[in-house]
Chains A and B, each alone.
Chain A
Amino acid sequence: MTELSAGGVPPSTSLSVAVGGRVGVQSWWRTPTARRYLFGYTLLAPAVLYVLLLVGIPFVFSLYLAMSDASVGVPVAHFVGLENFRTAVENASFYTALRNTIVFTVGAGILKGLLGTTLAFLLVQAFRGRKVIRALVVIPFTLPIAVSVLGWKWMFDSQFSVINWALNKAALIGPYGSPDWPVWLGQPWLAFFSVMFVNVWRGFPFSAIVLLAGLTSVPPEIIDAAKVDGTSFLKRFRLVIVPMIAPILFIGSAFDTVFTLSDLSIVYLLTNGGPDGATEILPTLAYNTGIRGGALGRGAAISLFLFPLLLPAMIMLLRTLRRRQY
C-alpha cells in the first residue's frame, strides 16, 4: 500500500506542492461562502421540492391531459394539440362559466375586502372579550366546507328556509307560496348571489385576520402622530396604514384570489352550476366534464383556462410587492 502524506500526496512529491495542496487546493465547498450557500439551499430545498412535486408535476400533467384525448378509462392518450381548447371555446356553456367565474371572483373579492377591513378595524380595538371574539370570527374559515355549505343549503331551502321564515315574521316577505317568497337557489340572480354570499361568509374572516396581523404591526406612535396632524380616519387608512401593511395586503389578496377562482365546493354543493348554468363556473364545468363525464382531456383544458386568468393577476401583485420591498 502506498504511503500518503497528510495532504493526500505521495511522499515523492515535494513539500511545497504538498503544502500548496492543503492550502491552495482547498475544496470550494469548504469555503465559508460555499457553506453559506449550501446551508441556504438546504433550507430552501424542502420548499422547492414541495412546489415541484405538488404544484409543478400536477401542472405539467394537466397540460399533458389538456393536449391529449385522455378519458377516465383509457390508459394511453394521444396528442391532440390545442383541440380540447378549441372545443371548449366553441361551447356556449363555457362562456357562461367564464363570465360567472370572473364576476364571482371579483365580486367576492371586493366584498371580502370591505367586510374584512371593517372587521379587522373592529377587532383591533380594545374591548372586553376581544380574544374570544377573535377566536370566534375565524370559525367559518375553519369549519369543514362540506358541513358549513350543508348548513347554508338548509338555510336557503325553498320551503323551510330559516331566512325566509325570519323575513316573513318581520313582514318583509309574504308567506310560503306567495310570489315574493324568495327561492334563493332557484332564481338565477339570487342563486348567484347566494353562492357568492357563502363564499364571502367563509372567506372574509381570513381577510380580516390577515389585515389584523398587518394593523397590529403598525407602530401606534405613527398613528398617533397622524392623528395629531389632524388626518381623518380615511386619510390615515389610505396614506399611513395601507402603505405600511401593503405587503401583507398583497399576499392576502393573492391567496384569496386563488382560493376564490378555484373554489369548486361551494357551487358544486349548493347548485351544481344550476339553474340552467346560472351559477356555472369553470371549476364545476371542468369537474362535470372531466371527472363525472369521463372526458379528462377536455376537463383539464377547461380548468387550465383559469391559469391565464390568474397569471397576470399574480404577476402584477408580486411585481408591486417587489417594488415596495426595494
Chain B
Amino acid sequence: MSEPRAPRPNLSADVSRRRFLKVSGGGLATASLLTMLDARQAPAQIKGTTLRMLKWSHYVPAYDVWFDKFAKEWGDKNGVTVRVDHIPHLELPARYAAEFAAGAGHDLIYFVGQILTGHYYRNLIDLSDLADGLGKKYGGWLESAKSCALVGGRWYAVPDFFISIPVLYRKDLFASVGMEEPKTWDDLRNAGRQLKPKGHPTGMQFSRCNDSNHNWRALMYCFGAKETDPSGQNITIDSKEMREALRFGKALYDEGMTPEVFSWDDASDNRFLASGVASWIHDAISAFHSTRLTNPKVFEQTFVVPEVSGPGGKWNVGEPNVWAIWKFSKNVPAAKEFIQWIADHQKEAMEASLGYNMPFLKEQYKKPMPYLGKDQKLSALQDQEKITAFFGYPGPMTPPAQEVLTTFIVPDMFTRVARGGDIEETMKWGVGEIRRIYAKHKA
C-alpha cells in the first residue's frame, strides 16, 4: 500500500522561476560546501596542481619522516604534487628575505621561533577565514596564539604548534639533598647550591642561542618583569622586577653553574643531562627523549615539571610555529587546504612528534592528550597552555620585539651580570639598546 502523498505546493503561484533557481542553487551550494567541509574533500580546482612548502628540520627527526609521508598522502588523495623542503630553522629568515625580494618561492611557508608575521603581513595572504573556522571548530585559539599570527585584527598566519620548554630534573639527586619536586625558582637555586659541590651543577645557556632567549625570558616573566606593555609599543623592562631577575640569574650562576654555560648551544644542555652530570636543566623535551636513548639509567631518574613559580607568577616561554602563505604563492587554495588538513590531524602530528608539538587550539587540550597522556612523566604538560607565553609578552611579536630577540639583548644582560657586571650599568646598556631599536621602528 502506498503512503498518502502530501499535497503539492503551488509553486507557480508565489515562486518565480528566477527565485526558484536562486534558492535551490543556494541550497545546493551550501549543501555541497557543508558536505565537502564535513568530508574534508579538497576543491576540484587544486587537482593537478603542485604545492611547494618550506619547513624547518624538526628537533624530532621521526616527525619529519611522518610529516613528509602525511603530506604526500594528502597530495595523492587530492591529486596535488607536494614538495616539502626542510632547512635548519636559523636559516629560514634569510631564505624568506630572498624569496620576498625575488617575489617567488614556496607556496606555503613556516615561521619557527623567529616569527616574521609582523614583518611580512603586507605580503601574506589574509587567513582570517581559515583561522576563524579552526577556532570555531576546536573551541577557540589560546590567547598566546594571537600574538604570533594576528596583525591589526587579521590572521596573516595560522598557528600550528608551540614547543614547550619545561624543567627537567633528576629526582634521585634532588632526593639526595632532601628535596622533592621543585615548585619555585628558589627550589631550583637551592638544588643547584647543594648539588654543584657534589659534582652535579645545573645549567641554562648564557650564550647566544635560541634556548637562552627562552629560558631567561621565562625567569624574567616569573619575576614579573616584562619587555613591553600589552600594546607592544611601550618599553617596560626598566623595572625593579627586571633588576631582581638579573640578581637572581647571577645567584643561580654563582651557586649552581660552571662557566661552560657561557659556551652552550641549543643541544649542549641535552648532552649535559644525558651525561649524568646535570642536576636540572630548563629545556624542551627533546632532552628527555635523547636521554632515554643514550643513558637509560639517568632517564629513569629524570622527571619533568612544566615550569616553576617566581614572585611574579609562573610563565613558560615556548617557541611558536606558524603557517603562512605568500601573496605571490602560485597555489593559495592548495596551501589553505593543507593547513586545514594538518590542523584536523593534530592528534597524529602530536603523536608523531613524541608529544613535542603542543597545540594552539583549546579543544585539543582534552585529556588524555596524544602521547603526553600516555607518559606518566610527561602528563603534567597537558596543562601547559595555561602558563605559556612567547617573546614580547604581554605584547605581540612585533618587528622591534623580533629584533630585540635576534640581537640577544636579554640573554646578554643576564650574561653581563652573571660575569660580575654592575646591575645598573647593565640595565642602562640593555634598556638603551632596546629603546634604540623601538625608536627606529617607530620612526
Which of the candidate stretches A19-27, A210-218, A286-294 sits at the interface with the other chain? A286-294
Residues of B within 8 A of A185 (CB): 207, 262-263
What residue of chain B has the Cβ atom nearest to residue A153's Cβ? B265
Contact A275 B206 (CB under 8 A): yes
Contact B272 A159 (CB under 8 A): yes
Residues of A within 8 A of B20 (CB): none
Contact A294 B260 (CB under 8 A): no
Residues of A within 8 A of B96 (CB): 72
Residues of B within 8 A of A271 (CB): 207-208, 263
Contact B263 A191 (CB under 8 A): yes
In chain A between 167 and 225, which residues have their CB closer than 8 angstroms to a CB of chain B?
Answer: 177, 183-187, 191
Nearest CB on B from A187, distance (A): 6
B172 at the interface (CB under 8 A from A): no
What residue of chain A has the Cβ atom nearest to residue B98's Cβ? A291
Nearest CB on A from B213, distance (A): 11
Instruction: Kindly state the interface size class of chain A when it binds its partner.
Output: 35 or more
In chain A between 156 and 172, which residues have their CB closer than 8 angstroms to a CB of chain B?
Answer: 156-160
A295 at the interface (CB under 8 A from B): yes
The 8 A CB mask of B226-260 against A (1 = contact, 0 = none) is 00000000000000000000000000000000111
Contact A158 B263 (CB under 8 A): yes
Residues of B within 8 A of A187 (CB): 259, 262-263
A87 at the interface (CB under 8 A from B): yes
Known: A73-B116, A74-B122, A183-B260. A294 touches B208 (CB 8 A): no
Contact B259 A274 (CB under 8 A): no
Main secondary structure of the interface of B (DSSP, over half): helix
Main secondary structure of the interface of A (DSSP, over half): loop
Nearest CB on A from B433, distance (A): 7
What residue of chain B has the Cβ atom nearest to residue A194's Cβ? B263
A2 at the interface (CB under 8 A from B): no
A112 at the interface (CB under 8 A from B): no
B419 at the interface (CB under 8 A from A): yes
Contact B407 A159 (CB under 8 A): no
Known: A272-B209, A274-B207, A275-B207. A73 touches B119 (CB 8 A): yes
A256 at the interface (CB under 8 A from B): no
Distance between Cα atoms of A183 and B201 in the complex (Å): 15
Residues of A within 8 A of B415 (CB): 274-276
In chain B between 101 and 137, which residues have their CB closer than 8 angstroms to a CB of chain A?
Answer: 114, 116, 118-123
B199, B277, B402: the one contacting A293 at CB < 8 Å is B402
Contact B436 A87 (CB under 8 A): yes
Q: List 17 A-B contacts (CB under 8 A).
A: A71-B399, A72-B100, A75-B122, A91-B433, A159-B260, A160-B271, A184-B263, A185-B207, A186-B262, A187-B259, A272-B209, A288-B406, A292-B94, A293-B406, A295-B399, A295-B440, A295-B441
- The 3 nearest A-B residue pairs measured at CB: A186-B263, A158-B260, A186-B262
